[in-house]
Structure 1
Amino acid sequence: MINIVLFGPPGSGKGTQAQHLIEKYNLKQISTGDLFRFNMKNETELGKMAKSYIDQGHLVPDQVTTDMLIEELRKTTDTEGFIFDGYPRTTNQTEALEKIVKDQLDAEITVCLSLVVDDEVLVQRLLKRGETSGRTDDSNEEIIRNRIKEYYLKTAEVAELYKQQGKYVEVNGVGEIDEISAKLFAEVDKVK
């Protein structure tokens, strides 16, 4: 079983690259962004809580995110592994994910792939996405910059944890999509 943590700030291309990894390795993507949107659209209690934070440009509290993740893992069968996109973002979430993967899947995290993109490129990508996606969190530059800042503040320690485990790999997230995918595939092939 391959379990990948796909890491990177908002707008780094995690969603796009996750699709390529899914096709190549028969994985199931669990995107916290998708989980949030599903729960918000369906106005679940978890969705209402998540929306109140997202609309202000803040990260959703760990327990809300963890509860959504467990629900999603319980629904899934017939896969050769998972891509965790947008989770974990904190030390507590990292520890929770490791426990969830062990308890629910009898497995461990294989590798943490981190897409690295300059902040100004991220802002422009998100503003452009906001023009067509209808997502309020992608249409305000101040909120976008706050999300990026919070991402770095809260996730530096997560990267450090995966570095200590020898599972952290940085990949340049700027360039042709297929070139970035090839770099990610090469890193997965080293550890699978």
Structure 2
Amino acid sequence: MNLVIMGLPGAGKGTQAERIIDAYGIPHISTGDMFRDAMKNETAMGLEAKSYIDKGALVPDEVTNGIVKERLAQPDTKSGFLLDGFPRTIDQTNALEEILKSLDKKIDAVINIHVEADILVDRLAGRFICRDCGATYHKVNNKPKVEGTCDRCGGHDFYQREDDKPETVKNRLSVNITGSQPILEFYEDQKLLQTIDGNREIDAVFADVKSIIDSI
């Protein structure tokens, strides 16, 4: 069961990704985790990525693609995986197709959590994050169970990202919409795209996600 999860910032993609990996026991493969692991393990691609990051430069697609290939070739992906944060461009989408072909794997479904942009502006303006583990909360919709304490790690240090502030959110969403549209169209053409209404309670959204996965 090989999945890609997509969604605009604030759509609840991260929350649904956590539920998927908890329910199905497949590895959650995010861009950030892949880079950190590759650099920590000093793989060939990890060292190359580090050489760019240390200079403050963008990591080229061919290096990112190489790190993805390294990760997808690891034994824990044998029963499936959830890709999160990759592909981000249509070039990366095409590269992923080649990577999977070389590994004799294929994508079974692309789950897109859809929420209208104007709703996301309100959502993102209220979002805050645990500095210790990265768990995401909202001052109205998803508060920690104990005020001031992270549910996941017990930390007490929270912050709001600069790009979650209202003055920058609209531009950020516009950039993401432009970038993601060709990818969504690509997977729509392949009959792999499953779009879910994310403007509902978390449990209701996950019920739809689970229905899609269980039908694979």
TM over 0.5: yes
Aligned equivalent of 1:107 = 105
Aligned length: 183
Aligned equivalent of 1:6 = 5
Aligned to 2:111, the other structure's residue is in SS state: strand
Aligned equivalent of 1:57 = none
Which of the pair has more CA radius of gyration? 2
The structure that is helix-richer by fraction is 1
Alignment of 1:73-92 (within 5 A): 73-75=72-74, 77=76, 80-92=79-91
Aligned-partner Cα distance in 2 for 1:108–1:175: 30
Letter in 2 for 1:158: I
Contact 1:129–1:138 (CA under 8 A) maintained in structure 2: no
Aligned equivalent of 1:138 = 163
Change (3 A) 1:32 1:126: farther
Alignment of 1:101-180 (within 5 A): 101-104=100-103, 106-130=104-128, 133=131, 134=159, 136-180=161-205
* Structure 1 unaligned regions, length at least 5: 55-59
Contact 2:121–2:166 (CA under 8 A) maintained in structure 1: yes
Match of residue 49, structure 2, among 42, 46, 49: 46
Letter in 2 for 1:12: A
Aligned-partner Cα distance in 2 for 1:65–1:187: 29
Contact 1:130–1:138 (CA under 8 A) maintained in structure 2: no
Contact 1:22–1:29 (CA under 8 A) maintained in structure 2: yes
Matched-pair identity in %: 34
Change (3 A) 1:84 1:127: same
Change (3 A) 1:22 1:88: same
Change (3 A) 1:149 1:74: same
Q: What is the root-mean-square deviation in Å for CA atoms of aligned residues?
A: 3.2
Letter in 1 for 2:123: R
